[in-house]
Structure 1
Amino acid sequence: MKLYDIVVVGAGPAGMMAAIRAGQLGKNVMLIEKNDTIGEKLKITGSSRCNITNTASLDTFMGKFGKKGAFFRSAFAALSNRRLMSFFEVKGLKFKIEESGRVFPVTDKSRSVIKVLKEYLSQSRVKINYNTRLVRIKKKKDYFSLDLGNDNYMATKKVILATGGISYPATGSTGDGFEVAQKVGHKVTPLRPGIVPLKVVETYVKELQGISIENARLTFKYGKRKLVSDTGNMIFTHFGISGPLVLDLSSQIVQILEKNETVDLFIDLKPEMTDQELQKKIMDEFEKRSKTEFKNLMKLFMPNRMIPIVAELLDIDPKKKVNQIKKGERNGVVNLLKAFPLTVTGSLSIEKAMVTCGGVSRKEIDPQTMESKVVNGIYFAGEIIDFCAPSGGYNLQEAFSTGYLAGEMAANSLDN
């Protein structure tokens, strides 16, 4: 049986980068992939545009990973966002920077990124076995025996697990790596959806489906306790809410919902105005257009399809002239514009989430090398590791950086 220096399991961004780096350092590398092509999930990342990284500083990057951020310091230092961009730029791929520092290839096509990765894999002499699934890792005296099922085995000195999470299982992310890690003694923290649309109780959101709100402020509360609040773009769906801001905050909300049945959400449609400023603006419009019907005047303050719902919530006849609107009703309009209420009950399933939160416990991984503390010679990279980060290029940077570090450290360990 041929003995490889390093076998990398999973040809996503983390696995490809790990294989490339180890190959660059002169190691005999085998990359195994359960699909018949590489980068299946990468193809659909960022709506197939591939938001590869973010221009944020190192401290900001780590902050996006919450309390877990410091764990990735060595990985981000080994392959920073700037170095990652240069990695692709030397192959002719150019990037553009969009809102909030999000970095995309100028082609707006993920396949441009995959093409460069394929070039690097070839140059690094990485061998690839497609349609190959790892079932179990067996530790031998001087090597690992990889059980590939159907009496097929592979031998290697080092193993890098980069099998991803369980989101978008059609791309091959079915949680195989978690099972393999558990079989060798690793703990896997609870898995939950990340970067995922949220569901609400209120059925009237069906009437709002497709309405986008720019610069809305979302405030999530449990009882009187404010959980999280931020401003950005959102969209109503037939089951609840989605959009960039919702997706970014969703991981925190999903975690809270594990302990509570519901979370209260208040949408501020006019965050640029105080309650008093909005009250004055509405009063001024009421005076100028005193004989206008309520439903028509409200078009100045909210999307058309929201008006019947607001009118029903306030028990106001939509055809009522605004000069007949009482002070209490006017205050009610202000309150709804500043705090439109919804009750969040959950999210779409983890299979429909963009990423998987949770994974192999970071306590059992050396952050300076990505090597297992449980079994020497096994390394981890990418989404298989326990973490959760918002959209914006942070998750892909984590994948590439941990893959780079794991590949480098696994290769260097063979020289010692």
Structure 2
Amino acid sequence: MKNYDVAVVGGGPAGIMAAIHAAELKKDVVLIERNDSLGRKLLITGSGRCNLTNTAETSEFIEKFGRKGSFLRSAFKSFSNKDTMEFFKSRGLNLKVEDGGRVFPVTDDADSVLNLLRSCLKEAGVSILYDHRLSHVDVLGNEDETSFKLNFDNSSLKAKCVVISTGGASYPATGSTGDGFRVASELGHRILPLKPGSVPLKTLEKWIWDIQGTSLEDVGLTFKRGKKKIASGEGDVIFTHFGISGPAVLDLSLEVVSALEKGEVQLLMDLKPEIGREDLEEELLKEFEKHGKTYMKNFLKFLMPNRLIPVFLELGDLDPNKTLNQISKHERNSMLNILKSMPLTITGHLPLEKAMVTCGGVSKKEINPQTMESNICQGIYFAGEIIDLCAPTGGYNLQEAFSTGYLAGDSAARSDE
């Protein structure tokens, strides 16, 4: 039975980074992947373009992970977003920065990222086992040291240290089926309830069926229950056959998912967030005066996509065949109301399997943030999405994977020092 210094379970970004770094520290490392190829989920990040990280300061990274973010301070210090960018650039992959500080490869192709990581694994001398699904881990202890036996369907191996980086439970087709949570639980760890993060939302209104596929750019979103605001932000929205999706929705969905546990949530969409209500009214008055003989239905083409116009007219109880010089003050106020706060009722969300990120997982209280080593079982380390951490889209979650992977690999490799 082969005996390794470090066994890394899970060939996603966290596991790959852990394996590369541990091997660079001259350890005998094996990377174990249940699929027949590495990085399947990495290939679909950033819509296949791979949003590697973000240019934000460390303090903003920590803030993006909410109350749980301070846990990542040591990981971000050991391998920061600047380190990630340098890692790829120094190996020949040029990067670019887009809106919101999002960092992408200039190739706009996640394959180029994965190919580079594969080359790094090969260069570092990492052994890779494909089509190996971990069934359970045996702890082998003696007076001098603890080691582990990793059991698969038809084989097993031993390792002094194990990094568990099996991902979450979203997009199971990529291999993230939650195996790591089961193994961690069997080793004595507490698994916090799994929830979808960055997930599309379902709506009560059926008119969205008629405009599915329509997108809105740079709209304001405010989610509320009664007078209490749950979340707000700006960005692009896409109407679907079940509700709404798009970057702005995904970014705010975590708070909405939690709020939905208590019932429906109201969404108010501001189609013109760049201008206040009073200024918008003044602008409309000028346009009405200038184009007084224009029909309402034709004027609205300048304000929104054509497919949204019938919905807007119905919500505002507006006559499409009235000319602008016939519009009353009451009708103008109705227009303003819908332009600044188009209502939708959020009734639910797509299941965890359809989420981009899994929230919940191995409790941070049972992991040493300085090393990523388990406080429950010495020699076991955790990295990536399996830990109870998640952030909005924008490169933050992938950076968390690289940072915790690097720190876990570093700690495991140095465990005998």
Q: Cα distance, 1:49 vs. partner?
A: 1.0
Q: Cα distance, 1:298 vs. partner?
A: 2.1
Looking at structure 2, the residues matched to 120 and 105 of structure 1 have their Cα atoms a distance apart, in angstroms, of 17
Looking at structure 1, the residues matched to 223 and 400 of structure 2 have their Cα atoms a distance apart, in angstroms, of 27
**TM-score under structure 2 length normalisation:** 0.96
Say if 2:180 is the partner of 1:206: no
Partner of 1:233: 236
Partner of 1:170: 173
SS at match of 1:186: coil
Q: Cα distance, 1:261 vs. partner?
A: 1.7
Partner residue of 1:299 out of 289, 292, 301:
301
Q: Cα distance, 1:184 vs. partner?
A: 0.9
Q: Cα distance, 1:303 vs. partner?
A: 2.3
**CA deviation vs aligned residue, 1:119-156 (integer Å, no higher than 9, x gap):** 21112211111100111111111311112134x22111
SS at match of 1:144: strand
Partner of 1:179: 182
Looking at structure 2, the residues matched to 85 and 314 of structure 1 have their Cα atoms a distance apart, in angstroms, of 49
Q: Quick one: which amino acid aligns to residue 276 of structure 1?
A: E
Say if 2:79 is the partner of 1:75: no
Tell me which moved more, 406-415 or 321-330: 321-330
Partner of 1:65: 65
Say if 2:156 is the partner of 1:153: yes
Say if 2:252 is the partner of 1:269: no
Partner residue of 2:199 out of 176, 196, 201:
196
Give the fraction of aligned pairs with identical amino acids, expressed as a percent: 57
Q: Cα distance, 1:94 vs. partner?
A: 1.0
SS at match of 2:56: coil
Partner of 2:408: 406
Partner residue of 2:258 out of 255, 258, 264:
255
What is the number of equivalent residue pairs in this alignment? 413
Looking at structure 2, the residues matched to 73 and 177 of structure 1 have their Cα atoms a distance apart, in angstroms, of 24
SS at match of 2:173: helix
Say if 2:227 is the partner of 1:218: no
RMSD: 1.3
Structure 2: runs of 5 or more not aligned: none
Tell me which moved more, 59-68 or 202-211: 202-211
Q: Quick one: which amino acid aligns to residue 247 of structure 1?
A: L
Looking at structure 2, the residues matched to 271 and 316 of structure 1 have their Cα atoms a distance apart, in angstroms, of 22
Q: Cα distance, 1:212 vs. partner?
A: 2.1
Q: Cα distance, 1:5 vs. partner?
A: 0.9
Q: Quick one: which amino acid aligns to residue 368 of structure 1?
A: Q
SS at match of 1:220: strand
Partner of 1:117: 117
Partner of 1:140: 140
Q: Cα distance, 1:388 vs. partner?
A: 1.3
Tell me which moved more, 155-164 or 280-289: 280-289
Looking at structure 2, the residues matched to 48 and 316 of structure 1 have their Cα atoms a distance apart, in angstroms, of 42
Looking at structure 2, the residues matched to 140 and 225 of structure 1 have their Cα atoms a distance apart, in angstroms, of 53
Partner of 1:314: 316
Tell me which moved more, 138-147 or 338-347: 138-147
Structure 1: runs of 5 or more not aligned: none
**CA deviation vs aligned residue, 1:304-358 (integer Å, no higher than 9, x gap):** 2222112222322211233332221211110000000001111222111111111
Looking at structure 1, the residues matched to 292 and 88 of structure 2 have their Cα atoms a distance apart, in angstroms, of 61
